[in-house]
A and B are shown apart, each in its own frame.
Chain A
Amino acid sequence: MPFEHHIIEYWEWMLPNLSEVRLLDARSWSNIGFLMGASGVLLLLAFLFPFLWFLIAVIKHGPSEGFYLVAKSIYGGITEDLPGFSFRRTYAIAKVAVQEAIRNRVLVGFAVFVLLMLFAGLFLDVENSNRAKSYISFVLWATNCLVMLMAVILSAFSIPNDIKSKTIYTVVTKPIRAGEIVLGRVIGFSAVGSVMLLMMGLISYVFVVRGLSHTHVLKADSFATKADPTGKREGVTSRDAHHRHRVIMDKSGNITTGETESEHGHFHRIESEGEGANRTYKVGAARGDLIARSPIFGKLRRLDPAGNPSEGINVGDEWTYRTFIEGGNNRSAAIWTFSNVTPERYPEGLPLEMNLSVFRTFKGVIARGVMGEITLRNVNPDAKVKSSPPITFESREYVAHRFPIDRKLKIGKNPDGTDLTMDIFEDLVHEGKIEVSIRCIEHSQYFGIAQPDVYLRPSDSFFFVNFAKGYLSIWLQMVLVTCFGVMFSTFLSGPVAMMATWCAIGLGFFGGLARDVLTNLVTGGGPIESGIRILQQKNTSSDLDVYLPLELAIKYSDKAMLVVVEGLTYILPNYGNFDTSQFVANGYDVYPDLVGQQLTMAVVYALSASIAAYFFLKTREIAG
């Protein structure tokens, strides 16, 4: 796969896998699953917050009255505000929030977007060999930035402005609950954001489709006059949209495949009319660039050269996403197990697609790829037919390599001279399962593999649906940011609330780094130490070389800071989990499990932030 990601199934993500959790290894904690993790954090916060609140109340009012105050607020929230919740009042607040957003010229953001689109040609690389990817990445990125910016500004300044202008005095002296003020704002601003997002989405879609739409001219004299030994003649189309396509004509003058060769990630259908020199060709619209493959992934295991299970080899400059299997005459292999393989789902055979990477320890034959072989294996050790004969292939890098395997495989000749074949589904599939084993057959060359690298691609999803899924991710992020912005704005002033919201977004992104620094996975130390290293131009492996007590002080304060950051990352949402632009841009369907995870996270975080916002607003002195 041209971009790196881990396939995580919904329930695998949701439910704990306690055998993988080690108490001291922070990076293994993600295995406790979202359900337990979130419940744990929420439970902790549910005790910690009232306790801190109680401590503050004790300072002001003394222990007994402090306890009474906290208990009364929480009890009142559950017994009075919750049953007294009114959609009518929430709607009224939401409506004013929308009016506020519109009359405060939020549409400027939309105008900026339209301008960006109009002048996109100035900074978009139109000669890029994968224009679809760069266009889609660009529109999704631009939309995401603008919508987030708008959400932060709207949500962070609204309540503080109301408090500053004292408008809120006239609102909270009506029978309205703090929860309705919070929720009304979240709904109102989300509604504004949704409409903007919808408009941006439509414009983006048209921009991408129209921007990529082009055709070429192919004439009879575009072909070489001399045929190659097999009688094929090669031609090229006219150069349009900064590229040409190769076209192959067979002996009889027909276009071999009815299509141009693929270039810049797409191809064109060709229809021809007439004969000989009068022959004319009609080149159709671009195809294959706006797609949404919906791959069916298998489970991966690797074998080392001795045939034992292994994690694969690290060739050095790669991180742990891909590991490598050694080529040559040994048992090293990568084996994917696919489930639910039935003739009904795959009538033609196995529609295999690969994205292997290659690591060459010597140049070899540089003009062609490294050779590998595929063997289909039966998962049942007692089966009559254990495996198919090996099917060799030439590796291709950086492109999705389609390699469909026919249902009937030739395995030799019958005595009567007819072909002896085996049927994948009858002979190799056991209880719906089949193994696909891939080996590198060139000695001392390596194949790099990751779980999403080999998959079945029976059919594609619709591009516009996938595009919409990309926008759904942005929408969820916007709603989350709005919730957090509103939450911070209930107890901070506008600019500070905005900064806090940005920090919350940033912490989500960089929390992983803090974790890696703490576990020494990343060297170079925390903020102070790395700051000193930058100033002294020292690399991360040399000693810090300062007075020892000072060094200890630096290291421990760094550690304290990172622990705080790390702690916060367990509370704040990781917006990186909501980034699906790579899927859409690279033409892969945003798989349903991922959408499910995003929805679950968004709901949990939005609710938690709203409840926190309710208590902050309810207990603050509005006129103070």
Chain B
Amino acid sequence: MPSQLEAPDVAKAAPASGDVVIETRSLTKVFRDFWGRPKVRALNALDLQIRRGEIFGLLGPNGSGKSTTIKLLLGLLFPSSGQALVFGKDATDVAKNERIGYLPEESYLYKFLNAEETLDFYARLFNMTPAVRKQRIEQLIQLVGIQHARRRQLREYSKGMTRRIGLAQALINDPELILLDEPTSGLDPIGTREMKDLILKLRDQGKTILMSSHLLPDVQDVCDRIAILHQGELKELGAVSELLTVQDVTQFKAKGLSPAAEDEIRAVIARHGGELLKVEHPTLSLEELFLNIVKDSEARPGRRAQQK
């Protein structure tokens, strides 16, 4: 997704009160059966505050309440108790949707429309002039890279392409707050990388992003703060950097050391009473390896990538 996302001249809504964009107050959702008997407690007394300009990750295994939280914030579900506030207003308030973009877990779009018609349809739901609408559609088609398939019906799209048009749809109004439900699911590593880059780029433009995922590396790479949910309960909340730092372990990374030098360093550690945990030559993560190979292959098409 190479091109720059330019802010269109859609009327910007007034900034929300304070810096808190999303707030939940002991938000609880209990799904009931036909007779009103409680079936599942999908979310239990969730308290969250998401601030302007951060990328917030909801992390958890399947069925932990991530999607339920997002649906409650969008007004697709009504809370059993507690409150969900977006821009300081109740989540069921329609007016907030002017400033929100939402990418569902799977891109649920009209299969009988093509990419242009899809974006045109969603753009018409917002207050923008036809000229802006046209320009915006063009930008987004470029941004998500589906120029070649713009006139094909979505039923012919691959999973990755569906995801891209879904993202374009979520960004059609240049939203302040973007809710991404499993943004990288179904994407290949390149698509995943591009998605992550785009999320970071959106953050740099000052947008607030709430994303859910069960793919840990994705969350680790992009999120500023995360909440870990399990069985509807909030288990952990905080900045990624703090949560992942192991305070009593120090890691050095060096290049060009001889075995003798390594021995010397071991001695230094021993002298200071430290315990040497491990010394290793790092391997690439599979993701990095894959991306390197693809990059190499694109640079020299038709050749087997060089082993490093």
Interface, chain A (partner B; CB < 8 A): 59-60, 80-81, 84, 86, 88-89, 91-92, 95-96, 99-100, 103-104, 165-177, 621-624
Cβ-defined contact, B102 with A169, below 8 A: yes
Chain A residues with CB under 8 Å of B36's CB are 59-60
Chain B residues with CB under 8 Å of A104's CB are 112
Contacts A167-B109, A169-B104, A170-B104 given: A92-B76 contact, CB under 8 Å? Answer: no
**Stretch in B116-124, B143-151, B208-216, B230-238 with 4+ CB within 8 Å of A:** B116-124
Cβ-defined contact, B112 with A174, below 8 A: no
* Interface check B224, CB cutoff 8 A: no
Cβ-defined contact, A176 with B108, below 8 A: no
What is the CA–CA distance of A173 and B74 in the complex, to the nearest angstrom? 6
Chain B residues with CB under 8 Å of A168's CB are 108
Cβ-defined contact, A170 with B71, below 8 A: no
Cβ-defined contact, B121 with A173, below 8 A: no
Tell me, rounded to whole Å, the shortest Cβ–Cβ distance linking B118 to chain A.
Answer: 9
Chain A residues with CB under 8 Å of B166's CB are 170
Cβ-defined contact, A173 with B100, below 8 A: yes
Most buried by B among A60, A168, A173, A621: A173
Could you jot down 13 A-B contacts, CB within 8 Å?
A: A88-B124, A89-B125, A91-B124, A92-B121, A96-B121, A99-B112, A100-B110, A166-B108, A170-B108, A173-B102, A174-B122, A621-B76, A621-B77
Chain B residues with CB under 8 Å of A171's CB are 125
Chain A residues with CB under 8 Å of B125's CB are 89, 92, 171, 174-176
Chain B residues with CB under 8 Å of A80's CB are 94-95
What is the CA–CA distance of A501 and B64 in the complex, to the nearest angstrom? 39
Q: Which of B95-116 contact A (CB under 8 A)?
A: 95, 97-98, 100, 102, 104, 106-110, 112-113
Tell me, rounded to whole Å, the shortest Cβ–Cβ distance linking A107 to chain B.
Answer: 14
Known contacts A167-B110, A176-B125, A622-B76; 5 additional CB pairs below 8 A are A80-B94, A100-B112, A169-B74, A175-B125, A623-B76
Tell me, rounded to whole Å, the shortest Cβ–Cβ distance linking B284 to chain A.
Answer: 38
* Interface check B28, CB cutoff 8 A: no
Task: Find the B residue at minimum CB distance from A104.
Answer: B112
Task: Find the B residue at minimum CB distance from A169.
Answer: B104
Choose among B77, B94, B107, B108 the residue that contacts A175 (Cβ–Cβ < 8 A). B94
Choose among A99, A167, A172, A175 the residue that contacts B76 (Cβ–Cβ < 8 A). A172
Task: Find the A residue at minimum CB distance from B76.
Answer: A623
Cβ-defined contact, A177 with B108, below 8 A: no
Choose among B76, B107, B112 the residue that contacts A173 (Cβ–Cβ < 8 A). B76
Cβ-defined contact, B78 with A169, below 8 A: no
Cβ-defined contact, A174 with B77, below 8 A: no
Interface, chain B (partner A; CB < 8 A): 31, 36, 71, 74-78, 94-95, 97-98, 100, 102, 104, 106-110, 112-113, 117, 121-122, 124-127, 153, 166, 169, 173
Cβ-defined contact, A170 with B126, below 8 A: no
Contacts A96-B121, A175-B126, A623-B71 given: A169-B94 contact, CB under 8 Å? Answer: no
Cβ-defined contact, A89 with B104, below 8 A: no
Tell me, rounded to whole Å, the shortest Cβ–Cβ distance linking B72 to chain A.
Answer: 9
Chain A residues with CB under 8 Å of B127's CB are 86, 88, 175
Chain B residues with CB under 8 Å of A88's CB are 124, 127
Chain B residues with CB under 8 Å of A99's CB are 110, 112-113, 117
Cβ-defined contact, A174 with B126, below 8 A: yes
Task: Find the B residue at minimum CB distance from A172.
Answer: B76
Cβ-defined contact, A166 with B104, below 8 A: yes
What is the CA–CA distance of A59 and B117 in the complex, to the nearest angstrom? 44
What is the CA–CA distance of A313 and B165 in the complex, to the nearest angstrom? 76
Contacts A95-B121, A171-B125, A173-B100 given: A103-B112 contact, CB under 8 Å? Answer: yes
What is the CA–CA distance of A86 and B126 in the complex, to the nearest angstrom? 10
What is the CA–CA distance of A100 and B124 in the complex, to the nearest angstrom? 17
Chain B residues with CB under 8 Å of A175's CB are 94-95, 97-98, 125-127
What is the CA–CA distance of A167 and B127 in the complex, to the nearest angstrom? 21
Chain B residues with CB under 8 Å of A624's CB are 31, 77-78
Tell me, rounded to whole Å, the shortest Cβ–Cβ distance linking A100 to chain B.
Answer: 6
Chain B residues with CB under 8 Å of A103's CB are 112, 153
What is the CA–CA distance of A41 and B275 in the complex, to the nearest angstrom? 85
Tell me, rounded to whole Å, the shortest Cβ–Cβ distance linking A412 to chain B.
Answer: 82
Task: Find the A residue at minimum CB distance from B124.
Answer: A92
Chain B residues with CB under 8 Å of A91's CB are 124
Chain A residues with CB under 8 Å of B121's CB are 92, 95-96
What is the CA–CA distance of A176 and B97 in the complex, to the nearest angstrom? 8
What is the CA–CA distance of A267 and B234 in the complex, to the nearest angstrom? 88
Cβ-defined contact, A96 with B126, below 8 A: no
Chain B residues with CB under 8 Å of A621's CB are 76-78
The 6 closest A-B pairs by CB, nearest first: A92-B124, A103-B112, A623-B76, A166-B108, A174-B125, A175-B97
Task: Find the B residue at minimum CB distance from A100.
Answer: B112
What is the CA–CA distance of A176 and B169 in the complex, to the nearest angstrom? 15
What is the CA–CA distance of A139 and B117 in the complex, to the nearest angstrom? 37
Tell me, rounded to whole Å, the shortest Cβ–Cβ distance linking A94 to chain B.
Answer: 11
Tell me, rounded to whole Å, the shortest Cβ–Cβ distance linking B104 to chain A.
Answer: 5
Task: Find the A residue at minimum CB distance from B170.
Answer: A170
Most buried by A among B107, B112, B124, B127: B124
Cβ-defined contact, A96 with B110, below 8 A: yes
What is the CA–CA distance of A624 and B39 in the complex, to the nearest angstrom? 13
Chain B residues with CB under 8 Å of A95's CB are 121
Task: Find the B residue at minimum CB distance from A165.
Answer: B108
What is the CA–CA distance of A468 and B124 in the complex, to the nearest angstrom? 36
Chain B residues with CB under 8 Å of A172's CB are 75-76
Tell me, rounded to whole Å, the shortest Cβ–Cβ distance linking B53 to chain A.
Answer: 21
Tell me, rounded to whole Å, the shortest Cβ–Cβ distance linking B126 to chain A.
Answer: 7
What is the CA–CA distance of A168 and B110 in the complex, to the nearest angstrom? 9
Choose among B94, B100, B106, B109 the residue that contacts A177 (Cβ–Cβ < 8 A). B94
Chain B residues with CB under 8 Å of A81's CB are 94
Most buried by B among A88, A104, A174, A175: A174
What is the CA–CA distance of A332 and B121 in the complex, to the nearest angstrom? 72
Cβ-defined contact, B124 with A89, below 8 A: yes
Chain A residues with CB under 8 Å of B74's CB are 169, 173
